[in-house]
Structure 1
């Protein structure tokens, strides 16, 4: 009888460790599978990134001369625009001087244009008016910027 009681009580202490750990093992296997998938995705991304880097690097090297030439042309055009603006400022100053000397009114250009014909009989322009000495303009040429770049 003691043996029977011992066997009955031993059943309480029996643990099925393999069955209890099966769920833990399943979770671990699932996690390992996901990590392997993530690893393969990261590896594919690295390969794609390397391919893209290689393609971009070769494109940069391929078009470097054209980009350099284009940037030089942009700098040249910027210099031309600055020179032309400086020339226009000089011309505008001289035109303003001449307009003030000859009494040109810019408010109504048509009236100013026709005024000598309309008032011709009433007033005779005085020839004795002295024409001021206008300085000769030195306008900077911009053609030298384009002669070297003709392709």
Structure 2
């Protein structure tokens, strides 16, 4: 993880598990980040909650037609796997979420990368599960390490 430059005085590295910030600015992923900061912050909250063995849920908007939900309830924590579901407002289905094109892939890769930073292994693929009105639902199970 790269850290954005900062003109102000740097602070000492955090002593917490997970993504650390070594300057006064937020971490910057390599390349362009297409995942909203609110989503990244929610995943960070999920990571901290999982480390503390506390249930939590992430439900965030990735863009106007794209959402993510990660349900880390007591049952999921005990089982060591959490369901991760994406909802994409799209008229056609595809076998997996990544089959919807490079921009969707970029966003999903950003979410998966942040999960991995917290020791949560995302599924290999998010498969199509159902259609809910015009929303296509893709899901998989992430593994807590």
Fold in common (TM above 0.5): no
Higher relative contact order (CA 8 A, sep 6+): 1
TM-score range, shorter chain: under 0.3
TM-score, scaled to structure 2: 0.16
